[in-house]
Structure 1
């Protein structure tokens, strides 16, 4: 009999609490499952890679219990077994991936129905490679952030207050707090963005976002028209804005209103390369990955997702 394989972020109190409640119901319903708890950063990738290799024929779905970072790690562990469905039970601070693909299933009743129904769809993912420094290619499913938001993601994941906000169920505020902290020292710089062979140059760039989905950072609708199944990545470049105008822009990004502001340029493409004068931070699905230059490429219909 096939089983659900749960990978739970053990450093996330909300994720553990959510799964412990679900576990009781699954036992009552005699649902077959196995559990694995992460112990350190990157562990979910190692677990996913191992269980999908050893138990490939016994897996009904691999369910990530945590936030976008946990999903990102599990996704990368399943690169060689992408036919196995990937599912989610949200328990993080951002939950942007869950917001798009499963409409954030909350409550035991809905979570149980989610597990019982057999709906699988194919969605796109993307590849990210640090140019000239590594042959390793990693996957992302939501978005890439380069520049200010890459630095915010890096600092947020390192911040002690993120854990406290998690406990208060205010995890998404961690990104807001970190943004204002990073803005004290961040200086925009010039960047070159190549999209499907076409080169664009920008001055005073705050950030470049490459989206397979509209959201990141806990509900910020950075690429409003991005769709996870169209074989295209959306690109948003924020440039030539004063700090004051950037802060006004930040308010409107939660409903996508920033796209109408001068200094926000949007594009679509399948292959994107970003080169900067000085190295700037990069995040993928909210996880810090390194610094520019970087090459990004869409992978159409590569992920089987349980919805």
Structure 2
């Protein structure tokens, strides 16, 4: 079996290009048979993955960060929904939240060793439909999505230096966003139930980790065919600062203004279009819907 390895050379603050020779040698020494291709621009991994899946590659491997993983997932699921294409991950990014949600340690050398694992696990994905440039657009995601403050932070993070890693830019962007952000009134649909709430953020979680290691949705499982929906309610700035350190351990969910619910279908709208992020990438604005796709991907790890 020959795999297609999709390498994002600029992932991990452009460190992946330096890591790739070591990774490729390790793969060869393991007896891992593969072709590889570098991505050349944003969105290119979607094209490579889609073409590889359509051309019969049985196994695709993403070498990069959460954004690269998201693009490869979109390529696979755009090509087919029959779960026949295997997917592996070698995490060389700055955040590495998806591999944490898989239960891996974030060490790219260890990830290489998992590529030949006999363990194949069916994991869920999500499909988000949102507004961008005046039109309705859809995108797959695997780790999670969010509306409100976290998406505003994602927008700010895009302008932060990646060389600082995943957590530091996120915290810097969070602090900058916090200064001017105001909580929003949103209409939320959770399957057949509908609510109007004043919120800081609404997180639609497939996996547990966000923002470079924050355990935002501690009970989320990527195999349970449902989202964990975390509503961060009408908290003030002091409450945010007091609660923020707890997010890394997942103990923020005990706060009385933090609510955890479950749903297979989620809708979020507001009088004003709110920023939306998925897998850490800023996508567009609300209104948006989120649909869980049970057992959509076959992961090797």
Contact 2:190 2:265 in 1 (8 A): yes
- Give the secondary-structure state (helix, strand or coil) at the position aligned to 2:155: helix
Structure 2 gap segments, 5+ residues each: none
Instruction: Tell me, in whole angstroms, the C-alpha distance in 1 between the residues paired with 2:65 and 2:19.
Output: 12
Structure 1 residues 232 and 112: alpha-carbon distance in aligned structure 2, compared to 1, 3 A threshold:
closer
- Give the secondary-structure state (helix, strand or coil) at the position aligned to 1:223: coil
Give the alignment's Cα RMSD to 1 decimal. 1.8
Q: Which residue of 2 aligns with 1:89?
A: 90
How many residues are treated as equivalent by the alignment? 295
Q: CA deviation at 1:249?
A: 1.5
Segment drifting more, 4-13 vs 210-219 = 4-13
Q: Which residue of 2 aligns with 1:114?
A: 114
Q: CA deviation at 1:267?
A: 0.8
| TM-score in terms of structure 2 length | 0.92
| TM-score in terms of structure 1 length | 0.91
Contact 2:268 2:287 in 1 (8 A): yes
Instruction: Tell me, in whole angstroms, the C-alpha distance in 2 between the residues paired with 1:245 and 1:272.
Output: 26
Instruction: Tell me, in whole angstroms, the C-alpha distance in 1 between the residues paired with 2:184 and 2:149.
Output: 10
What does residue range 93-242 of structure 1 map to in structure 2 within 5 Å? 93-101=94-102, 103-104=104-105, 106=107, 108=109, 110-130=110-130, 134-159=135-160, 161-162=161-162, 164-165=163-164, 170-203=165-198, 205-242=199-236
Instruction: Tell me, in whole angstroms, the C-alpha distance in 2 between the residues paired with 1:143 and 1:305.
Output: 17
Instruction: Tell me, in whole angstroms, the C-alpha distance in 1 between the residues paired with 2:269 and 2:38.
Output: 38
Structure 1 gap segments, 5+ residues each: none
Q: Which residue of 1 aligns with 2:263?
A: 269
Instruction: Tell me, in whole angstroms, the C-alpha distance in 2 between the residues paired with 1:30 and 1:147.
Output: 46
Contact 2:226 2:263 in 1 (8 A): yes
Q: Which residue of 2 aligns with 1:72?
A: 70
Contact 1:128 1:137 in 2 (8 A): yes
Instruction: Tell me, in whole angstroms, the C-alpha distance in 2 between the residues paired with 1:279 and 1:191.
Output: 10
Q: CA deviation at 1:4?
A: 2.0
- Give the secondary-structure state (helix, strand or coil) at the position aligned to 2:211: coil
